[in-house]
Amino acid sequence: MWQLPGLLAPTRCLQADDGEGGTPGLVWDRRSGLLTATLRVAATGVLLADSGDGDAWVASWGAWLSALGAEPTVRWVSVTVDTAPDPATAQSWLSPGSSPPSRAGSGVPGCRS
Q: Is residue 14 part of a domain?
A: yes
pLDDT of residue 8: 87
What CA–CA distances, in Å, run from 91 to 81, 88, 95, 96?
21, 5, 6, 10
* pLDDT tens, the chain, 113 aa long: 667 888 889 999 888 888 888 888 889 999 999 999 888 777 777 778 888 888 998 899 899 999 988 998 888 888 877 776 666 665 565 666 666 555 444 444 444 43
Q: Is residue 48 part of a domain?
A: yes
pLDDT of residue 99: 61
Does the pTM exceed 0.85?
A: no
pLDDT of residue 79: 82
Report the distance separating Cα 2 and Cα 6, nearest Å.
13
Strand stretches in 4-98, DSSP E: 11-14, 25-29, 35-38
Give the chain's domain count.
2
Cβ(15)–Cβ(26) below 8 Å: yes
Does residue 31 share a domain with residue 54? no
Q: Is residue 33 part of a domain?
A: yes
Q: Is residue 104 part of a domain?
A: no
Q: Is residue 50 part of a domain?
A: yes
Q: Is residue 30 part of a domain?
A: yes
Report the distance separating Cα 44 and Cα 46, nearest Å.
6
Domain hosting 60: range is 43-75
Report the distance separating Cα 58 and Cα 37, nearest Å.
22
Q: Is residue 98 part of a domain?
A: no
pLDDT of residue 107: 43
